């Protein structure tokens, strides 16, 4: 998989792309991630990428010329499955979208900044708009990292134990079950006996029941999604 990120603050990604799962995926050559500085395509002496909005109002708007120049250059070099724009008014990013995107070959992630992005960019270049929550951040860089991390970890070979990702929360519209490790007793708190029994069928049954109980307690709306899809 190749991911191209377009940002006005490309240095933001430096340490994250070297550490953790994203760094592992790059070193294993399972994910190729490139960060592009939108200012390299800016206008004039100061490589301007934004301007005041037509009609007045507070804030600045990213101009179309730099974004078109950057994305069209990338698209001339290879085809892309999606051009993703991170925006609060996009579709909610969830595990099912992460699963689908993990099967893509090439992705572009466009990070918003300032007040807004010129609407002509969104209508012409963008194929998918994603939001990571009903909250406004200073830019799309943090959401872009969330999307990359969620997607790349699903690529076969990135996780040490590939089955681990398949049992994460939301993979089956349920939250994950409770997990325990050594010691079996700690400060008067004991691990459920079934997990120490060695009976794999009963352990799996307990985990499924526990996941459902936790979902009912913490995120009952997910069970509604589960029944709708059935």
Q: From the centroid of its chain, how far is CA 132?
A: 8
> Reduced to 3 states, what is the DSSP secondary structure of residue 139?
strand
Q: Could you confirm whether domain 2-152 is CATH 3.50.50.60?
A: no
Count of alpha carbons within 13 Å of 65, Cβ hemisphere only?
11
Instruction: Check whether the bond before 183 is cis (ω within 30° of 0).
Output: yes
Task: Answer whether 109's CB lies under 8 Å from 70's CB.
Answer: no
Contact yes or no for 15/46 (Cβ under 8 A): no
Q: Which fold has domain 167-229?
A: 1.10.1270
Q: Supply the pLDDT for residue 160.
A: 74
For the chain, which residues make up each domain, given as ranges? 2-152, 167-229
The pLDDT value given to residue 228: 53
pLDDT at residue 169, as a whole number: 53
What pLDDT does residue 104 have? 97
pLDDT of residue 127: 98
- What pLDDT is stored for residue 224 in this prediction? 77
Nearest to 151 by CA among 100, 111, 81: 100
Block means of pLDDT (10 residues each) for the chain, length 230 residues?
Answer: 98 93 95 98 97 95 98 98 96 95 98 95 98 94 97 92 55 85 95 96 95 95 66
Q: How many Å is the Cα radius of gyration of the chain?
A: 22
């Amino acid at each position: 998989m190749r991911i191209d990120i377009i940002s006005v603050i490309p240095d933001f990604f430096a340490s994250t792309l070297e550490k953790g799962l994203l760094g592992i995926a790059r070193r294993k050559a399972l994910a190729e991630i490139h960060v592009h500085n939108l200012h390299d395509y800016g206008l004039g002496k100061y490589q301007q990428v934004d301007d005041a909005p037509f009609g007045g109002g507070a804030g600045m708007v990213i101009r179309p010329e730099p974004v078109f120049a950057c994305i069209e250059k990338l698209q001339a070099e290879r085809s892309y499955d999606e051009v993703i724009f991170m925006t609060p008014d996009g579709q909610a990013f969830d595990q099912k979208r992460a699963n689908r995107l993990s099967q893509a070959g090439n992705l572009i992630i466009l990070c918003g900044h300032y007040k807004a992005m010129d609407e002509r960019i969104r209508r012409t270049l963008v194929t998918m708009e994603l939001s990571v929550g009903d909250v406004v951040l200073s830019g799309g860089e943090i959401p872009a990292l969330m999307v990359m991390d969620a997607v790349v970890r699903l690529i076969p070979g990135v996780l040490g134990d590939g089955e681990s990702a398949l049992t994460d929360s939301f993979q089956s519209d349920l939250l994950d079950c409770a997990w325990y490790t050594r010691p079996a007793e700690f400060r008067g708190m004991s691990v459920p006996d079934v997990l120490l029994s060695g009976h794999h069928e009963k352990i799996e049954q307990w985990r499924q029941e526990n996941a459902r109980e936790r979902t009912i307690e913490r995120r009952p709306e997910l069970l509604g999604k589960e029944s709708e899809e059935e």
